[in-house]
Structure 1
Amino acid sequence: MRRITPAQRRARLARRHLLHPEHRATRTEKVAEALVGLHATDASCVTLSSFARLRAPSLAEVDRALYEDRTLLRMHCMRRTLFVVPEPLASTFFHATPPAMASRERATLLKHLAAADPPRDARWLDEAAALALAELARRGEASAVELTDAVAELQTTITLSPGKRYAATLRIGGELLRVLAMEGRVRRGRPVGGWTSARFRYHVAPAMEPVDPAAAQAEVVRRWLRTYGPGTEADLKWWTGWGVREVRRALAQLPVLEVELTDAGRGWDLPGQGAEEEAPGPWAAFLPGLDPATMGWHHRDFYLDPAHRSLVYDSVGNGGPTVWSDGRIVGVWAQRRTGELVWRLLADVGAEATALIEKEAARLQSLLDADELVVSFPAPLTRELLA
């Protein structure tokens, strides 16, 4: 059985995640494909993850792929998380996602509607969805607010967390669009506002090409191993959000090799991957919260000192904005309200590495200008960093 060290894994990460300057991409589509999708919980994460990996990053380049050519699209898939994925792979990701995900969202909305005044049932929700889709088709594209204003049924209100101090009453238009998006019936288009906005315009989605769910899951795992491998079953379970049975079934359909990870035990790899294990040279990167590199594995010791985990990740494993050096997370960063970037290193990385980090900070600062980021999952150290 082949043994693979943390240093070899970090060398792969530098190349496969397009983080070493010599391996950066020329188009945003290449970034999304290489990373098996870009986390999109925060709208800014898509742009910042792309900036870190593009040779000539610009908002215009990212917008082209997302909104002009529409070669990339936002959709819920792994772990019920919003990702940006290559449009040709949409059906694969859709069918690889257990249908229970959308069913749970629909059931939650029905529960709220049952408590509305007067109560509404599943038949009423289906009729409201049909009216919403018809109006969206007529308009071509609309925001949740525009669609809700146009369709009276979507103005029905529900109360979230009733009886709690944080209870909220809202119209169902946005909630219904979220369910329809998870069901693959609508897609998100341009944001309402700037590139950091989390509100989008929607359009009716084309029919998804049928794909066998087991084959779709195997293809997703193959792509994950190509970019993130080697990895463990726990890594795949974490990244996909599937059960162990689904992970093992997908692995069984692939020509995988069992390997020993010196930092994590038994793992899996694709054949013929050893050519990328020589260190490519020094590099640094500033990655946003929830970046694919930060969120790619359950076992993170090969790229993060365990003593620093609680400074970078929250209690459920969401990573904040990070500073990287030669395949390791070595610091965290944040943005002040003035637009200024601030960062803190968690260890002494030496003068050469620090100089590269400063260069990357200046590169990102020039791209951000004065735009204020929206960070839903800041690093636990962020508050202290901004004090």
Structure 2
Amino acid sequence: MTRLSVRALNRAALARQFLLDRADVSVAAAVAHLGGVQAQEPQEPFVGLWSRLRGFDPADLDRLLVAKELVRTVLMRRTVHLVTAADALAWRARHQALLRQRVYGAYRAELAGVDPDEVTAAVEELCADGAARTMPEIGRVLAERWPDAGFRPLGELAVAAAVPMVQIPPRGLWQQTGGALTLPMATWLGTRPTPLAADGDPVGEAMVRRYLAAYGPASTADLRAWSGLAGLPAAVAAVRPELVSFTDERGRELLDLPDAPRPHEDTPAPVRFLPAFDNAILGYDDRSRIVDDAHKGLSVAGDRAVLLDGRVAALWTVRPVRSLTLEVTPLRRFTRADSAEVGEEARGVADFLGATGVRILRSPA
């Protein structure tokens, strides 16, 4: 079985994530290929797509959200993702058990004795009028029936797990702020999520293929880390005959689609700026292909990463220093060439975000 080096896995991941070369595809096609874009912070997907697509225009994403072709909803890992309407409808039922389990796990004491099916019925009755509401508003109504639970746990249960919900515009539009108004997915899209099949797991099998197309070669642990789903072994077993296998440097089996791109490990990788919580990092259990172990927790904390030669080498943010300034904090020593390459890409990101300056801080000793 062929062994792939960490660097080879890095180049494969960058290619699948449109980070090796910006892709000349539509916003909708990119979001579909990536299996959704992590969107817990509403403005972060714009930077992620700017870094991945040639000529990205935020207005294109806005139009797709308003036209209901893309939606913001809770899916993988109980986090808000920007996904196509088709994927939201196909994947939501497959995540239902996970979402309910994680909400009850987070609020075990508060939700003790609260029947989730009764909450579902109550939320459906409340939302039958078609009015958009915030999570706290829904929670306060439910708290009249379950006062001991508290409005916050009830609101999160309602929006994240009881009924498939979407966050509607202007939430998630370019440079828009404000709270998250939610509606049932069936109300917003005019149809309900696809129920699970009685036999087999066609949704799970499709997710395995889609994950490998955007993240492979990868292990089953990586697949679980991305999706949050523990129940995909049967789906992996069903599609395994159509896959190829590799091992990594630690001897772990990696699965992949046979014709997916696996560039040579010496392929040059340009500087790329990633948004907070980007799935290029969070989409793996073993993140060593893109980030050193010493820094693997940074993206979980919401830090924005800079990729240099394909790996996380710095953090970045925008600060109001006199005017908006994009500030880069190296995580390792930068050569003069490194600083020049990072600075050039940083100026492009700064222009996109409306920042007027770029500042690269001193490299660590």
Query: What's the TM-score bracket when you normalise by the shorter of the two chains?
Result: 0.7 to 0.9
Residue 191 of structure 1 corresponds to 170
Give the CA deviation at 1:321.
Answer: 0.7
- Distance of 2:82 and 2:50 partners within structure 1: 15
> Is 1:220 equivalent to 2:207 in the alignment?
yes
Give the CA deviation at 1:112.
Answer: 4.4
CA deviations over 1:247-304 (Å, ceiling 9, x no partner)? 4322111122221112563222222335534654341111112101121212122222
In structure 2, the CA distance between the partners of 1:259 and 1:143, relative to structure 1 (3 Å rule), is same
Give the CA deviation at 1:123.
Answer: 8.4
CA deviations over 1:204-238 (Å, ceiling 9, x no partner)? 32212334372211211111111111112221222
Residue 16 of structure 1 corresponds to 16
In structure 2, the CA distance between the partners of 1:345 and 1:171, relative to structure 1 (3 Å rule), is closer
TM-score normalised by length of structure 2: 0.80
Which residue among 202, 206, 212 is the counterpart of 2:182? Answer: 202
Letter of the aligned partner of 1:178 in structure 2? V
- The 8 Å contact of residues 77 and 226 in structure 2, kept in 1 or not, is answered as yes
SS at match of 2:315: strand
Instruction: Please list every run of 5 or more consecutive structure 1 residues that lacks an aligned counterpart in the other structure.
Output: 162-168, 372-383
Aligned pairs (5 A) from 1:121-160: 125=119, 128-136=122-130, 139=131, 142-144=132-134, 153=141, 156=144
Residue 27 of structure 1 corresponds to 26
In structure 2, the CA distance between the partners of 1:354 and 1:107, relative to structure 1 (3 Å rule), is closer
- The 8 Å contact of residues 37 and 83 in structure 1, kept in 2 or not, is answered as yes
- Distance of 1:171 and 1:13 partners within structure 2: 38
Residue 342 of structure 1 corresponds to 327
- Distance of 1:42 and 1:234 partners within structure 2: 26
Give the CA deviation at 1:155.
Answer: 7.3
> Is 1:289 equivalent to 2:276 in the alignment?
yes
- Distance of 1:42 and 1:225 partners within structure 2: 25
- Distance of 1:288 and 1:6 partners within structure 2: 23
Instruction: Please list every run of 5 or more consecutive structure 2 residues that lacks an aligned counterpart in the other structure.
Output: 357-361
Percentage identity across paired residues of the two chains:
23
Aligned pairs (5 A) from 1:35-184: 35-66=34-65, 68-102=66-100, 105=103, 112=110, 125=119, 128-136=122-130, 139=131, 142-144=132-134, 153=141, 156=144, 170=151, 174-175=155-156, 177-179=158-160, 182-184=161-163
Give the CA deviation at 1:172.
Answer: 8.1
SS at match of 2:346: helix
Aligned pairs (5 A) from 1:292-331: 292-309=279-296, 312-313=298-299, 317-318=300-301, 320-331=303-314
TM-score normalised by length of structure 1: 0.76
Root-mean-square deviation (CA), in Å? Answer: 3.6
In structure 2, the CA distance between the partners of 1:105 and 1:334, relative to structure 1 (3 Å rule), is same
Which residue among 243, 252, 261 is the counterpart of 2:248? Answer: 261
SS at match of 1:356: helix
CA deviations over 1:310-367 (Å, ceiling 9, x no partner)? 6x35xxx556210002311111112224532211122245444432311221111122
- Distance of 2:5 and 2:172 partners within structure 1: 45
Residue 4 of structure 1 corresponds to 4
Give the CA deviation at 1:183.
Answer: 4.3
* Count of residue pairs the alignment pairs up: 346
- Distance of 1:301 and 1:113 partners within structure 2: 37
- The 8 Å contact of residues 155 and 172 in structure 1, kept in 2 or not, is answered as no
- The 8 Å contact of residues 2 and 260 in structure 1, kept in 2 or not, is answered as yes
Which residue among 237, 247, 267 is the counterpart of 1:252? Answer: 237
- Distance of 2:256 and 2:201 partners within structure 1: 19
- The 8 Å contact of residues 219 and 253 in structure 2, kept in 1 or not, is answered as yes
Residue 380 of structure 1 corresponds to none
CA deviations over 1:25-48 (Å, ceiling 9, x no partner)? 442212212211111121122222
In structure 2, the CA distance between the partners of 1:264 and 1:201, relative to structure 1 (3 Å rule), is farther
